[in-house]
Amino acid sequence: MLFEVWAPKAEERVSLWLEGVELPMERDTGGLEGWWNVQAQAAAGARYGFSLDGGPVLPDPRSRRQPDGPDGPSAVVDQDGHSWRCDWAGRPLTGDSVLYELHIGTWTHAGTLDAAADHLGELAELGITHVELMPLCPFPGVHGWGYEGVSPWAVHEPYGGPEALKRFVDTAHGHGLGVVLDVVHNHLGPSGNYLPAFGPYFTEAHHTPWGAAVNLDAPGSDEVRAYLLGSALAWLRDYRIDGLRLDAIHALADSRALTFLEELSSAVDELSAELDRPLFLIAESDRCDPRTTRPREEGGLGLHAQWNDDFHHALHTALTGESHGYYADFARAPLAALAKTLSRCFFHDGAYSTFRGRTHGRPVDVVRTPAHRFLGYAQTHDQIGNRALGDRLSAMLSPGLMACAATLVLTGPFIPMLFMGEEWGARTPWQFFTDHTDPDLARAVREGRRREFAAHGWAAEEIPDPQDPATRERSCLDRAERERPGHARLLAWHRELIALRREQPDLADPDLAAVRTAYDEQARWLAFRRGDLRIALNFADVPAAIPLGGARPRGAGEGGGDGGARILAAWEPVEPPGADGVLRLPPQSCAVVAET
């Protein structure tokens, strides 16, 4: 087999060390500057690495497996050796898609891909269509979030390594579930990151919160971009993954005319055509820029969808009343903010942001932009885990308000996404945890976390120690909760709403311009229209009379029409609207009403 490596920083020689034997490599003379290669016989599992100019043996930057962790040797992987069981045609993002964000290390106490696969039937039965896995690349130790990963072509060995991922994907596909993988291109972890020894993978021309930026536009960036593109396509091709979630694309510093993200979206579309199955990219971005998902031929980046944090922030503020940090922009009139995001996607669409001290965002052309280019959610790993105690909404809200959150996410215009355990109102926190093997780095992370929250009034002893194994253990789901009365009721509500989304074409309609909203900020109710359906929510502690037809309160959008109505789903028993078109909702409850 051919062993090759891009190592332009090597001045005189590069050696392949294969099972303890040194094999000199030759410079590529075919015009590929900085590349070295050698042919050698090697079986699957054989350990190897590269030595530059007689230095230490380093893992392969394109390693497919790191059996001994990021600092150990790489291992040969037989990519054609897996026998796939499921003949999978793919599953695109559509109006009836429902995503489920899942962290392998805490989805089960075992924390492996095989253990997680055993529970995929639960998600299929719930009505989930796609499982979105948090990052799987190797990182130090056993347990962590995965965003400090290195070796972006490999699978974290404690999760089960590359073969376990293939088994997981095969099992998911057998249940009819698509698989989305969260990938991180904007930085690599500081521990186990040997890329700078090989070449200019990073540049001091730009800086990010993690230090020097990944080199997407400085000298040598052609090969760095090819490195990241190759990794992304490998997940889709070799592991049969259906889509990628791109972490924090706003942190990708790229001044080139043809951006890396355009290159990536074009390459994914080409691979999709080659494989004859749908593939897609989902962006995380705080720019509130609709050009992220606009087609390339219309001047956009061509990504297929993006997370909509503005919808989350408006919903969170309406539910909890929190107003610190970036929630301040939404807290002045939370129901107005929520209504705006439901019909226009972004709250920050060029308006002034007090949190940023400047205007922010760009308007969405709701006539030309399908709602399915945005994901809507009430909770994510970020929005839970980056809280001081990792507390979920279930720790703050009544069951009725949890039902309201589910209703907004699952009947709203955007593709819904749930965070693991949300469907039954899991009470286990999801906290920030690490397993750094470098004691200095472990101490820096621990102290940095405590300093960060001390500035917000938290005592140091109240902040969970990320390095304490108990922090990860507390974050593992307790599946026994699913059967307990309050949790079982919320789980049934999610199941009912997901089925309703699949059965009612109006809930899968991508036409954002057709969404109409009404709200009363003081009475704390909100209603919105999806075709012939009306979704009504009462956030207040007292009953609400919500006009679904006829007169509407000042400041509200269009309401409903005339005629009869029937209740399709309701959290508490409720009568259909009377002749006056008014729906009377109990406190902290919600209903879906159909015109007849």
What does the block give as tokens for 12?
Answer: 């005189």
What is the three-class DSSP state of 454?
Answer: helix
Q: How many CA atoms lie within 13 A of 555 on its CB side?
A: 11
What does the block give as tokens for 50?
Answer: 């590269």
Distance, in Å, from the CA atom of 77 to the CA atom of 162, rounded to the nearest integer, reads 8
Give the phi and the psi of residue 74 in degrees, each rounded to 5. -80, 165
Element housing 528 (H / E):
strand 525-530
Distance, in Å, from the CA atom of 354 to the CA atom of 286, rounded to the nearest integer, reads 15
Element housing 133 (H / E):
strand 130-133
Distance, in Å, from the CA atom of 578 to the CA atom of 380, rounded to the nearest integer, reads 39
The number of angstroms, rounded, from the C-alpha of 541 to the middle of its chain's C-alpha atoms is 33
User: Locate tokens 């050796």: which residue?
Assistant: 81
Q: What is the DSSP string of 169-232?
A: HHHHHHTT-EEEEEE--S---STT--HHHHS--EEEEEEETTEEEE-SSSTTHHHHHHHHHHHH
Partners of residue 280 on adjacent β-strands: 243
What is the three-class DSSP state of 33?
Answer: coil
Task: Look up 170 and say whether it is catalytic.
Answer: no
Task: Look up 247 and say whether it is catalytic.
Answer: yes
Q: What are the helix (H) ranges across 56-109? A: 104-107
What is the three-class DSSP state of 536?
Answer: strand
- Which residues touch 226 (CB under 8 Å, ≥6 apart)? none
CB of 594 closer than 8 Å to CB of 555: no
Catalytic residue among 132, 157, 242, 247: 247
Q: How many CA atoms lie within 13 A of 164 on its CB side?
A: 20
| Best CA proximity match to 394, nearest among 452, 458, 320, 460 | 320
- Which residues touch 330 (CB under 8 Å, ≥6 apart)? 313, 314, 316, 317, 318, 337, 347
Long-range contacts of 526-532 (CB under 8 A, 24+ apart): 526/318, 526/335, 526/338, 526/339, 527/559, 527/560, 527/583, 528/339, 528/342, 528/343, 528/412, 529/558, 529/559, 529/560, 530/411, 530/413, 530/506, 531/505, 531/506, 532/506, 532/594, 532/595
- Which residues touch 200 (CB under 8 Å, ≥6 apart)? 8, 9, 215, 218, 219, 220, 221, 224
Catalytic residue among 4, 148, 217, 284: 284
Catalytic residue IDs:
247, 284
